[in-house]
Structure 1
Amino acid sequence: FKRFDVESYPKFDNYDKDGVIRHKGNERTDNWVFDTAYLDVTTNFSLLGTENTFLVGANYLDYKYDRFMAFHAGEDVAAGTTVTRPGTVRSKKSPRREHDTWGIYAQNMMTINDYWQVLAGARYDEKREDSLTENQVSPKLGVIFHPTSNGSIYVQYSESFMPQGEVSNGSRTYINDGEKLDAERGISYDSCTKCEL
């Protein structure tokens, strides 16, 4: 999607002296492009006296971002006077930022009997940006106990992965510019109970 933004920076340094306001500003155009795709396939089967629901899938994201800025010339305008659109003194097109991410995953829900179910799965994620590639395998394991026909107790363990890329100085100077940042990795423990009335 696209966004067009006009920003103004009025200054009132001379307002008390001569009633003049100094106007400056810029125009900014942002353009984000998200191309996505995903696929899920599910099948049911029996194995050694258990009933299983097996899921395998994949997802993909191609991300692009462009930014263009035009900076306006300063103009002194008396208070109460309409401010016309000032001329542009310079413009700047930022380098395109882009990356693609994809993941594949599989999990199986095994029903052992009327009381017990086990969920096991894993997910592989990868992010590619310029010459930097980050990836991770994240497991998932859950157990469901059904003490009654209308109630259940659920316990789950899972891991997550969020790439952070590398340090980019932009308009500032950092001593670790270009350094790869550690990905955010999370571990989650969940437990809950459910009862249908």
Structure 2
Amino acid sequence: MLVILPKHKGTDREFASLKRRLSLLRKEASRKPLVHKTAAIRKRWPRVSLVGYNYDNLLKTFKLARVDNILYGIVKVNNIQLQMIALNDPEKNKDLLLQSEIIISKNKIKGYENQIVTDSIDLSRIVKDFGVIAVYTENSEDAVPMKRGETVKDLIKKLHLKVEKNSYAVIFGNSAKFQGQRVALSHKLGDMDRVFIKV
């Protein structure tokens, strides 16, 4: 732009603003980025961490992507989507392990209560042991993962819906006394329930 712009008395201000802009861009380019080299993995509930398993076998079994020597992906178990992370070194990735609800490892790791030590990975059994239930909404194919004992109000918060004074839900499933029962927002949900929310 500096080359194309004709130089005369009327374009002095334009030249000055272009030079100022160019110097700011050069300063910004010379600064070192403050970003850490480890990739940020967005937290999603429930998160399952696998520690000490062979990466090649995990890549064959599950559809995972490699991010900074960590395998990461979303795995479907009984129509529940789980966030799965596979790590080799638990010491370097303590922050990821602390955010995980379920830790599956070949060897015992000190300092973590929510872990299972096993050679084989049976996710459907592990998910049930940790109290994760599948709840379906009106037209959903995939289930919403919930903790056992959570209520309709918790489901509404997860779905980011507004709660009004006369809100209620209609439930088809195990937690209802009869199919199509109208329940309050304080009703505890059960596994495989289908919930129609009337907000």
Do both proteins adopt the same fold according to a TM-score greater than 0.5, normalized to the shorter chain?
no
Higher strand share: 1
Category of TM-score, reference length = shorter chain = under 0.3
Q: Indicate the structure (1 or 2) with the bigger Cα radius of gyration.
A: 1
Higher helix share: 2
Q: With structure 1 as the length reference, what TM-score do the two structures score? A: 0.23
Q: With structure 2 as the length reference, what TM-score do the two structures score? A: 0.23
